[in-house]
Amino acid sequence: MSLTVATWNINSVRLRIANVERFLKLRKPDVLCLQETKCPDELFPHQPFEALGYTHRLIQGMKSYNGVAILSKVPFTAMNVHHRCGKEDCRHIEAALDVGGDPILLDNLYIPAGGDIPDPEANDKFAHKLDFYREMAGWYAERKPGPRQKKGLRRIAVGDLNVAPLEHDVWSHKQLLKIVSHTPVEVELFGRMMAALDWIDVPRRFVPESEKLYSWWSYRNNDWRASNRGRRLDHILASPALSGAIRGYHIDTDLRGWEIPSDHVPVLATFEL
């Protein structure tokens, strides 16, 4: 069985629903995870997804901010909404995908951006981001399979994680070291979360760390393609039990040039189960 999972910070699902439909018809992923849906649950546009076969849906949204959704052709065996750092701000949902045998647990995450000032004492938003990463690292560490377990845990985590961890995940490592999303403290905490479950960075399985790789380009760049000042903020991670199943990845860069674009583009990964 082949499974393709896509993640996309859509920056308002209702505003960009035509782009979402176009993408789904073009790429046909089995599962689409959206972040920053900016839509309360009662107003979520279910019909377009239903019409395209995404009949299994888990959504958690709020007016104007945040919001996450999992839209799937694959049935769920379980669904969970997780509240982080004592807040109910719609940033983490989890579904168990019924793919035969042990389910694959899928986390859809929208980690806080952190504001503009990389100082937790001066900036509550940055402090929240760091606390969120610490909490996720601890949560994943608790779920790491023990040495006596015959089978490893099949888990995928996707989303806008708002950290570009590697030198070539940003257009200028030197110039962005003091810019939120690439500061040393964020990169260290990202690494701590990765180590907690021995996560595999799926795109970097195929693209060497020495090569540039982006999924986000600021709206402030009038000609984003020419300047190419991007960052890789959107990630697909796989647990070691899925290592042998990873078959490919794709970052849909061209979607940044569509009408009414999000500043993020979809990232996809394919697994052969």
Asked if pLDDT for residue 222 goes beyond 90, the answer is: no
Rounded CA-CA distance 206/248 in Å is: 8
Domain ranges of the chain: 2-272
What's the mean per-residue pLDDT of the chain? 97
Q: What pLDDT shows up at residue 254?
A: 97
Asked if pLDDT for residue 149 goes beyond 90, the answer is: no
Domain 2-272: give its CATH architecture. Answer: 4-Layer Sandwich (3.60)
Which range has the worst mean pLDDT, 15-19, 208-212, 213-217, 222-226? 222-226
Asked if pLDDT for residue 152 goes beyond 80, the answer is: no
Asked if pLDDT for residue 101 goes beyond 90, the answer is: no
Q: What pLDDT shows up at residue 221?
A: 87
Rounded CA-CA distance 155/36 in Å is: 22
Q: Which amino acid is at 209?
A: E
Q: Tokens for 32, please give them.
A: 């689409």
Per-residue pLDDT band for 147 (boundaries 50, 70, 90) equals confident
Q: What is the mean pLDDT of residues 202-216?
A: 98
Q: How big is the CA angle at 156 (ends 11 and 213), to the nearest 5 degrees?
A: 60
Q: What pLDDT shows up at residue 240?
A: 96
Which range has the worst mean pLDDT, 28-37, 144-153, 201-210? 144-153
Per-residue pLDDT band for 41 (boundaries 50, 70, 90) equals very high
Asked if pLDDT for residue 122 goes beyond 70, the answer is: yes
Contact status, residue 233 vs residue 256, Cβ threshold 8 Å: no
Asked if pLDDT for residue 150 goes beyond 80, the answer is: no
Contact status, residue 240 vs residue 203, Cβ threshold 8 Å: no
Give the predicted TM-score (pTM) of the model.
0.97
Q: What pLDDT shows up at residue 6?
A: 99
Q: What pLDDT shows up at residue 175?
A: 98
Q: What pLDDT shows up at residue 161?
A: 98
Q: What pLDDT shows up at residue 98?
A: 98
Q: What is the mean pLDDT of residues 193-214?
A: 98
Residue 186: is it exposed, middle or buried by C-beta count within 10 angstroms (0-12/13-18/19+)? buried
Asked if pLDDT for residue 166 goes beyond 70, the answer is: yes
Q: What is the mean pLDDT of residues 46-70?
A: 98
Q: What pLDDT shows up at residue 214?
A: 98
Per-residue pLDDT band for 173 (boundaries 50, 70, 90) equals very high
Tell me how crowded residue 14 is: count the other CB atoms within 10 A of its CB. Answer: 13
Residue 253: is it exposed, middle or buried by C-beta count within 10 angstroms (0-12/13-18/19+)? middle
Q: What is the mean pLDDT of residues 187-201?
A: 98
Q: Tokens for 88, please give them.
A: 């109910």
Contact status, residue 23 vs residue 255, Cβ threshold 8 Å: yes
Per-residue pLDDT band for 145 (boundaries 50, 70, 90) equals confident
Q: What is the mean pLDDT of residues 97-123?
A: 97
Three-state SS sequence of the chain? CEEEEEEEECCCCCCCHHHHHHHHHHHCCCEEEEECCCCCHHHCCHHHHHHCCCCEEEEECCCCCCCEEEEECCCEEEEEECCCCCCCCCCEEEEEECCCCCCEEEEEEECCCCCCCCCCCCCHHHHHHHHHHHHHHHHHHHCCCCCCCCCCCCEEEEEECCCCCCHHHECCHHHHCCCCCCCHHHHHHHHHHHHHCCCEEHHHHHCCCCCCCCCEECCCCCCHHHHCCEECCEEEEECHHHHHHEEEEEECHHHHHCCCCCCECCEEEEEEC
Q: What is the CA radius of gyration of the chain?
A: 18
